[in-house]
Amino acid sequence: MSQQSMIRADAEPASHHHPDPKRVGDRVFSGLATGSGVLILVILALVAAFLLIQGTPALLADPAKLTAQGYGPFAEWVAPYVFGTLWAAALALFLAVPVSIGIALFISHYAPRRLAQPLGYVIDLLAAVPSVVFGLWGAAVLAPAVQPMWAWLNANLGFIPLFGGQASGTGRTILTAAIVLATMVLPIITSLCREVFLQAPKLHEEAALALGATHWEMIKMAVLPFARPGIIAAVMLGLGRALGETMAVAMVLSGGRQISFQLLTSENPNTIAATIAQNFPEAFGLKVNQLIAAGLVLFVITLAVNTIARWIVARRAQYSGAN
């Protein structure tokens, strides 16, 4: 989305066929708009350049040298963290998306107005809580609280591989971290979805109702299909935050380097962001390059996620109702 608005800002002066030198306001404003658009591109380019320049030494280094002076051969070293990042984010979205869509639908289509407004504010407030506070809450309150539940799941449903293994005694597992992450991405997804749901055309809602649709059928026919691209965009924004979130994971999880789908054990995969944060203070030399290269990997993952989201949204553009 930001990319689109950037392109528009860039294109604006070109589409001005009759520039009038006297209109100072126009020129100042178009200059400012173009400048802002260019600025964000420049910042992005600088970040990418930093990651490439500082990370490349680790990518090109002899694996033996990395083993001696760094954390070990790069691909082998980074793979578990890539897995941890994706796994934690996927879990968080799995928990957050249905709840978010539910809350958003409740606010936009079910709740009486008196309740909908305050609820909307509360959700937005949730987004204002600093991530370190969520991390503290997760480690100090949530983990001990869910530990008995995790133990129960492990004891009774342990035959399902997800719940297998040796249950953690502290409750500080990847599932707990995913809950904290889900709480953090929930307000983003909810408020975006709510906005999109509220924009669903009355015209189509009435068309559905007039055909004898129930309230829920109307939502399925007129609201959700209209909101689909918006929901995907919201989920991707949430995913972006979940992928890059550092503090919550770092504080809840004592992550390691295993690739494991087990949710309840104390042997948990760590995420790229948390790994960088935890190791950077005492890193030097090649280790620094290696951590930055991990940052580059995270950057690429996020970029890929956004591209895929864009592609999904564009694929059904002709059915989106924009035409």
Contact (CB, 8 A) for 252 and 180: yes
Site for another protein contains 319 (CB under 8 A)? yes
Read off φ and ψ for residue 268, nearest 5 degrees: -120, 145
Stretch 194-213 residues interacting with another protein (CB under 8 A): 201, 203-213
Read off φ and ψ for residue 232, nearest 5 degrees: -60, -45
Place of tokens 């600093």: 130
- Least Å distance between CB 203 and another protein? 4
Residue with smaller CB distance to another protein, 156 or 214: 214
- Least Å distance between CB 105 and another protein? 17
- Least Å distance between CB 16 and another protein? 32
Identify the sign of the CA torsion 103, 240, 145, 160.
positive
CA pair distance 134, 40, nearest whole angstrom? 29
Size of the site for another protein (CB under 8 A): 27
- Least Å distance between CB 40 and another protein? 32
**What one-character DSSP code corresponds to residue 18?**
S
- Least Å distance between CB 108 and another protein? 14
Stretch 108-137 residues interacting with another protein (CB under 8 A): 112-113
Site for another protein contains 320 (CB under 8 A)? yes
Stretch 276-295 residues interacting with another protein (CB under 8 A): none
Site for another protein contains 244 (CB under 8 A)? no
Residue with smaller CB distance to another protein, 209 or 237: 209
Contacts of 316 by beta carbon, 8 Å cutoff, 6+ apart: 228, 229
- Nearest to 237, CA basis, from 273, 300, 191: 191
| Strand runs labelled E in the chain | 255-256, 268-269
* Residues found near another protein in the complex (CB under 8 A): 112-113, 201, 203-214, 217, 221-222, 225-226, 228, 316, 318-321, 323
